[in-house]
Amino acid sequence: MVEALVNSRVLIDGRFVTEQSILLDKGCISAIVAERDCPSDAIRVDLRGQTLVSGFIDVQVNGGGDRLFNDDPSVETIAAIGEAHRRFGTTGFLPTLISDDEAKIDAAMNEARRAIAVGIPGVLGIHIEGPFLNPERKGIHDAAKLRRISEREIELLTRPTGGATVVTVAPETMPVEIIRRLTDAGVIVCAGHTQANGDEIAAALRVGLRGFTHLFNAMSPLTSREPGTVGAALLDEASWCGIIVDGHHVDPRVLTLALRAAPLRRFIIVSDAMPSVGGRKSFTLNGEEIAATGGKCVNAAGTLAGSDLDMASAVRNAVAMLGLDLADAVAMASTNPAAFLRLDGRLGRIAPGYRANLVLLDDDLAVTETWIDGVRSA
């Protein structure tokens, strides 16, 4: 039965419109028509004048709802994380494995494949963040886990999952030929936790490097005589930059400068969320107690350990802290990550033929309802 979403302010192609009915059928948006032309036999769903936008896509989700993917890389954990983040507007996500051993990577890849096969709502693939990182920029990652990539691990990462596979690496730790092999196999390779200089990043970009994991954090900075990873990222015209808009990882003024330096279409809002999102405000990571206080996750030494951020809060922060209008903030949380994942032909927009992944926001930009593949959940 066709559903008609009516009485809302809808974000369509970058602008908000009213008196439009969004028709949902078989998990997709079948049509957008004037409300006066809404089919008489459609089930009308009154959205009470609230704001309807495309669902948020989070490409870096370590945990949520008291679950950490590293602790138990299973279909059940993926489902629990997805459910925790759905309450905050995330309708598509990549469960993210922090640097770990080969067996854990193998298990995580297999379980992501199973989660997609059995239809866990929202799961779009997997993100393997490390362990092929630079120890000088390890952040909260366990230094004992960091290593050079092996042939066996290349084989693991290039196995199809039925979704997207994102891998974060320090490009200076591996030959460009390996980056090319990964990208040629369809893996989305990002630079992160890296001390690479501008030339090393440029070389990686030439062989398919597609993005930068949490820009500014855990990477070589822009200086007067060396662009570093940050400068090379901002200079490139084709790749994507993930940003954590929580006011803690990066000063909002620095993010504002980045948005002036490169087109908005190149930026992706990510949460880098930990189990505290939708869960208790403390958890264990690599044997350390992590506290989520004041909106950030830190260990006893004060090192940031992911975030206590959800996507709806990040969108609100982009409006309040960065001065963006809501349409641009939503693009960074939905349209841009869909393009980064090569899913922009079916996700990231409210348009006919696109999957019905939607978020309803109240006047305070809090999430009131979501739809994943047309299934509604308050």
Q: What is the mean pLDDT of residues 296-324?
A: 96
Stretch 198-223: mean pLDDT: 98
- pLDDT for the residue 1: 85
The answer to whether 349 and 58 have CB atoms below 8 angstroms apart is no
> In this predicted model, what pLDDT tens digit does every residue of 217-265 receive, in sequence order?
999 999 999 999 999 999 999 999 999 999 999 999 999 999 999 999 9
In this predicted structure, what is the pLDDT of residue 294? 87
Q: Is the pLDDT reported for residue 378 higher than 80?
A: no
Structural class in CATH, domain 3-53+353-377: mainly beta
Any catalytic annotation for residue 13? no
In the chain, which segments carry CATH 3.20.20.140? 55-340
Q: Which residues are CB-neighbours of 126 under 8 A, at least 6 positions away?
A: 94, 95, 96, 97, 108, 109, 112, 161, 163, 164, 165, 166
Task: Using alpha carbons, select from 367, 360, 341, 364 the residue that is nearest to residue 46.
Answer: 360
Structure tokens that stand for 232 in this block: 């090379």
Summarize the confidence of residues 305-330 as an average pLDDT.
97
Q: Please determine, for residue 376, whether its predicted confidence score (pLDDT) is greater than 70.
A: yes
Distance CA 341, CA 363 (A): 30
Please determine, for residue 192, whether its predicted confidence score (pLDDT) is greater than 80.
Answer: yes
pLDDT at 54: 98
- Give start-end residues of each CATH 2.30.40.10 domain in the chain: 3-53+353-377
The catalytic residue among 272, 308, 310, 328 is 272
Over residues 111-129, the pLDDT tens digits come to 999 999 999 999 999 999 9
What is the mean predicted confidence (pLDDT) over 35-43? Answer: 93
Q: Lowest mean pLDDT: which of 125-129, 155-159, 294-298?
A: 294-298
**pLDDT tens digit string along 321-362?**
999 999 999 999 999 999 999 999 999 999 999 999 999 999
| CATH 3.30.565.10 matches 55-340 | no
Whether the model clears a pTM of 0.85, i.e. scores above it, the answer is: yes
Q: How much is the average pLDDT of 147-176?
A: 97
Question: What is the length of the chain?
Answer: 378
- 168 pLDDT more than 70: yes
For the chain, give the longest Cα–Cα distance. Answer: 66
**3-state percent breakdown (helix, strand, coil) of the chain, nearest 5:** 30, 30, 40
Distance CA 347, CA 305 (A): 30
Tally of CB atoms within 10 A around 54: 29
